[in-house]
Amino acid sequence: MRHPKDRSGLTRRQLLRGAAGSALGVSAAGLLAGCENTTEPIGAGGGGPTGPASKLVVAKPTGPGGLPLPRPDNAVTWAITSNNRPVAAGRPPERGPLRVYNYAAYIDPALVKRFGAKFNTSVQIATYNSADEAIAKLSSGQVAFDVIIGLTGSNIVDLIAQQLLQPLNHEYLPNLKNIWPELQDPFYDRGSRFTVPYVVWMDGIGWRNDKVKQDIASMDVPWDIFWQSQAYKGRVGILDDKQDALSMPMQRDAMRAGVRPDLNTESPAAVKHSQQELSELNGICNVKVTITDFQTLPEGSTVLHQSWSGDLLGAAFYYLPKGVKANVLSFWGPDENGVVQNDFLCIGRTAKSPVLAHRFLDFLLDERNAYQNFVDFTGYTPPQKAIDAQALISRGLIPPTLTKAVVRPDQFAANQELLQLSVEGERVWDNAWSQFKAG
Amino acid sequence: MTSRWTWRFLALPGVAWLSIFFLVAFYAVVAVAFGNQDTLSQPVPFWNPLDWNVGYVVDVLRNIWHGEQYLTVSLRTLEFVAVAMALCLLIGYPVAYFAARHAGRWRGLVLLLLIVPFWINYLMRMLAWINLLSPNGWGTTVLHDLGIERLFITLGLLSAPGGWLEGQQSTVILALVYGYIPFLILPLYAALDRIDQRQIEAARDLGASPASAFLRVTLPLSMPGILAGCVLVALPMFGDYFTPDLVSASTKTNMIGNQIDQLTRQGSEKVTGAVLTLLLAVVLFALMYYYLRSTRRAGMVETE
């Protein structure tokens, strides 16, 4: 799943693309030593091809490197191996500098400055444009970071398979208790051994309520609006991400039928069907495929867009042109059976300041700091027990039309995360996406 | 002899540069296109041709043969580039002709104006057009006031008033023309400027009308410039992906470059992205070969 801050595509803010993939020589057998809940590895059993052909893809219900794919009904506890132990407890923080790897503009600089002052250190932030780029650079060994921000459950298998993360020592993370209980022990990383949550968001519909006549939020199936958008032709957009976009018709169909969809399905027929439904939008509204809705909705160049919740809040905070009020922006997201996602914080395996890195993680898990980061800068909801949408509205921080853009714990639990697929599953989705984007 | 070796020595850095940054890089694309992917969905290049895996190339060719998405975007790309190139020529030739033959003492200024667009980054110029062509933008207002908007709507090239950025193919083609036309004008200007005025005068003296002299003398003699200009605009247009992204973002305007960008940037089909890159390169090589042959022929005619 592409990240809201993924600016690897051409946008008005960032125009450069992610790095090309690099060939990775990872031994499946070695990787499996790091995993407790696993299935049969790719190529296991012997008798397989040799030479270059030994690297050929073999379809298995497993993820990259032959590791299990975490799912809500298949929680994974990643093993802590003898050659990659957490830092010992009770040590003082290193002098730094603390090296942080993050999406651009995805942490409040004032907060970072305050951390530096508190621990008498400097914080150096390097940015990446896409998760693919981040993982490729981390795995190349050319960059070493203490803290990595912004990767998700859809990257965890890649990160573990290539042993890019250092296990966490919870002695240094007392503020983890502030986080929603289900995210203190997520299914993709049982026991939060390698990751702790940063922010959450959901997929929904963003629109200009002064230009779209329909009351989208009260429709039986709000997703239907995209198939009824002839009047807004050329001003309708969907997210430029294969999983977000292709899972939208799946949600629509499931909502109509009153069933729970499998938004991580690898069934070629289901994905193909979804692609065909999505392709109907080409004729209906000449749909745009972008991730610039945070800018185009406030401007009015799009009036209806599939959106990430945090981008709508960001739009209200920062991107309103002169004379446009925040309450013209509306957001709807499903209470259940839709898409939610969780960014996490983690520590690089080659971290030079691991204790300081833990302190930084704990600093970001602090209630007040997380709140400041949310309302002063990112617009993305931290999964903190103390933050709720109603309180923010009553303080006048966000308009009532954007209430739904603040993700609630019950909503997070009843929706689904878009997760890493098997190698074959990924190709099924990629092919469908390629067909859709060809018009 | 010394002079000959000096020149060879001076060429060495350039040759080394091209070898490393073009040939090696290009061979890497070939090795990936004929390679495979590992269990982490990352491409595994097969450097030894004896190991080459043709599976991905065959898949893409089969996709094209069956008329699926890669054929759709290839044909659309061909159409966009052909129309944009023709428009570049239609618009650019008179400009180059004027600059070379009639600008007189203003020639320097005209040349400067032709080069000025190069001072500004291509993407910045495109971003400027997004503002100009927005529903309330100055560009939209001017096009409306001049009646061009109405003409485009009548011809079916624009779906609604002020809708230039609403995923229009015509906008993408015009943006391509705008972005690349200086690459056509400059070599054409150079070719026209080199034409010996006495040849045209001789044609006129022998009874040719101005139009006939142009068609029989100027146009044939400027053919190398036309070909060079067309190749110079066509090559980057074929690989362009950011122009449709910026001024349209509709799937109906995606070109082959958009598919390559998407496949190579993320996901599991990086090898397929390399195959499409390779196929596009083959087409461009063919175009280049045609250009070189044509210019050689033109050169022979000139010297005879």
CB contact under 8 A, A434 and B258: no
Residues A161 and A247 in one domain: no
- The complex's ipTM? 0.86
| Mean pLDDT for the stretch of residues B60-74 | 95
CB contact under 8 A, B166 and A56: no
CA-based Rg of chain A, rounded to a whole angstrom? 22
Report the predicted TM-score, pTM, of the whole model to 2 decimal places.
0.84
Cβ-nearest to A286 among B250, B262, B265: B250
User: Which chain B residue lies closest to A41 (C-alpha atoms)?
Assistant: B39
User: By three-state DSSP, how is residue A71 classified?
Assistant: strand
**SS3 sequence of B234-272:** HHHHHHCCHHHHHHCCEHHHCCHHHHHHHHHHCCCCHHH
Encode pLDDT of A256-312 as tens digits: 999 999 999 999 999 999 999 999 999 999 999 998 899 899 988 899 999 999 999
pLDDT band at A365 (very low <50, low <70, confident <90, very high): very high
| Mean pLDDT for the stretch of residues A6-12 | 43
pLDDT band at B215 (very low <50, low <70, confident <90, very high): very high
What domain range is A167 assigned to? 98-200+340-416
- C-beta contacts of B92-100 below 8 A and 24+ residues apart: B92/B181, B92/B184, B92/B185, B92/B188, B92/B229, B93/B188, B93/B226, B95/B185, B96/B184, B96/B185, B96/B186, B96/B188, B96/B189, B96/B192, B96/B225, B97/B192, B97/B218, B99/B185, B99/B189, B100/B189, B100/B192, B100/B193, B100/B195
B44 contacts in chain A (CB < 8 Å) = 23, 52, 55
Residues A233 and A352 in one domain: no
CB A274, CB A243: distance < 8 Å: no
Q: Please tell me the predicted confidence (pLDDT) of residue A9.
A: 43
Domains and CATH numbers, chain B: 67-265 (1.10.3720.10)
Residues A272 and A324 in one domain: yes
- How many residues does the structure list for chain A? 439
Q: Please tell me the predicted confidence (pLDDT) of residue A348.
A: 95
CB A86, CB A326: distance < 8 Å: no
Q: Please tell me the predicted confidence (pLDDT) of residue A30.
A: 38
Question: Residue A187, CB half-sphere, CA atoms under 13 Å: how many?
Answer: 16
Residues A194 and A226 in one domain: no
A-B contacts at Cβ under 8 angstroms: 160
CB contact under 8 A, B167 and A162: no
Cβ-nearest to A17 among B36, B72, B265: B265
Report if residue A225 sits inside a domain.
Answer: yes
Encode pLDDT of A145-181 as tens digits: 999 999 998 889 889 988 899 999 999 999 999 999 9
Encode pLDDT of B195-210 as tens digits: 998 998 999 899 889 8
Q: How far is CA A141 from CA A85, A392, B266, in A?
A: 19, 43, 20
* Residues B266-284: b if buried by 16+ CB within 10 A, e if exposed: bbbbbbbbbbbbbbbbeeb
Å from B73 to nearest chain A CA? 6
Instruction: Give yes or no for B279 touching A (CB within 8 A).
Output: no
Instruction: Give yes or no for B258 touching A (CB within 8 A).
Output: yes
pLDDT band at B1 (very low <50, low <70, confident <90, very high): low
Residues A212 and A285 in one domain: yes
User: By CB neighbour count within 10 A (0-12 exposed, 13-18 middle, 19+ buried), where does B14 fall?
Assistant: exposed
A242 contacts in chain B (CB < 8 Å) = 267
Where residue A252 sits, what CATH number does that domain have? 3.40.190.10
* Residues B198-236: b if buried by 16+ CB within 10 A, e if exposed: eebeebeeeebeeeebbeebbeebbbbbbbbbbbbbbbb
User: Which chain A residue lies closest to B242 (C-alpha atoms)?
Assistant: A10
Q: Please tell me the predicted confidence (pLDDT) of residue A287.
A: 96
pLDDT band at A45 (very low <50, low <70, confident <90, very high): very low
pLDDT band at A322 (very low <50, low <70, confident <90, very high): confident
DSSP assignment of A153-206, as one string? TTTHHHHHHTT-EEPP-GGG-GGGGGB-HHHHS-TTSGGGSSEEEEEEEEEEEE
- Chain A interface disruption, residue of B41, B52, B125, B259, most A CBs within 10 A: B41
CB A66, CB A42: distance < 8 Å: yes
Strands B43-44 and A416-417: unpaired
Q: How far is CA A127 from CA A105, A106, A395, B293, in A?
A: 9, 9, 33, 48
Going by C-alpha positions, the residue among A404, A230, A214 that lies closest to residue A312 is A404
Report if residue A27 sits inside a domain.
Answer: no
In angstroms, rounded to a whole number, what is the distance separating the alpha carbons of residues A245 and A226? 12
In angstroms, rounded to a whole number, what is the distance separating the alpha carbons of residues A11 and B189? 35
- Written as six digits, the tokens of A233 are 């032709």
In angstroms, rounded to a whole number, what is the distance separating the alpha carbons of residues B40 and A161? 8
Report if residue A43 sits inside a domain.
Answer: no
In angstroms, rounded to a whole number, what is the distance separating the alpha carbons of residues A266 and A270? 8
- How many residues does the structure list for chain B? 304
CB contact under 8 A, A286 and B40: no
CB contact under 8 A, A52 and B130: no
Going by C-alpha positions, the residue among A71, A436, A72 that lies closest to residue A271 is A436
How much of chain A is helix, strand and coil, in % rounded to 5? 40, 15, 45
| Mean pLDDT for the stretch of residues B276-287 | 92
- Written as six digits, the tokens of A319 are 């991107």
- Chain A interface disruption, residue of B63, B123, B251, B272, most A CBs within 10 A: B251
Residues A327 and A348 in one domain: no
- Written as six digits, the tokens of A327 are 């309450």
The more confident residue out of A74 and A100 is A100
Report if residue A125 sits inside a domain.
Answer: yes
Residues A117 and A148 in one domain: yes
DSSP state at residue A406: S
Å from B37 to nearest chain A CA? 7
CB contact under 8 A, B43 and A23: yes
Encode pLDDT of B19-65 as tens digits: 888 899 999 999 999 999 887 778 899 999 999 999 999 999 999 99
Report if residue A31 sits inside a domain.
Answer: no
CA-based Rg of chain B, rounded to a whole angstrom? 23
User: By CB neighbour count within 10 A (0-12 exposed, 13-18 middle, 19+ buried), where does B294 fall?
Assistant: middle
Report if residue A23 sits inside a domain.
Answer: no
Report if residue A10 sits inside a domain.
Answer: no
Q: What are phi and psi of A329, to 5 degrees?
A: -95, 135
Residues A140 and A164 in one domain: yes
A287 contacts in chain B (CB < 8 Å) = 167, 250-251
pLDDT band at B178 (very low <50, low <70, confident <90, very high): very high
Going by C-alpha positions, the residue among A334, A156, A358 that lies closest to residue A252 is A334
CB A297, CB A312: distance < 8 Å: yes
Residues A222 and A143 in one domain: no
Residues A211 and A277 in one domain: yes
Q: Is the pLDDT of residue A323 over 90?
A: no
Q: How far is CA B283 from the centre of its chain?
A: 13
Cβ-nearest to B39 among A12, A65, A439: A65
Q: Where are the strands (E) in B121-274, listed by range?
A: none
As a dihedral over the C-alpha atoms of residue A173, residue A113, residue A368, residue A381, rounded to 10 degrees, the angle is -90
Residues A259 and A180 in one domain: no
- Written as six digits, the tokens of A347 are 């520590």
CB contact under 8 A, B44 and A23: yes
Going by C-alpha positions, the residue among A301, A76, A147, A336 that lies closest to residue B131 is A301
CB contact under 8 A, B251 and A24: no
Residues A253 and A324 in one domain: yes
Number of structural domains, chain A? 2
- Chain B interface disruption, residue of A128, A287, A430, A436, most B CBs within 10 A: A430
| Mean pLDDT for the stretch of residues A394-399 | 80
The more confident residue out of A184 and A51 is A184
Q: Is the pLDDT of residue A344 over 70?
A: yes
Report if residue A193 sits inside a domain.
Answer: yes
DSSP assignment of A91-141, as one string? PPPP--PEEEEEETT-S-HHHHHHHHHHTT--EEEEEES-HHHHHHHHHHT
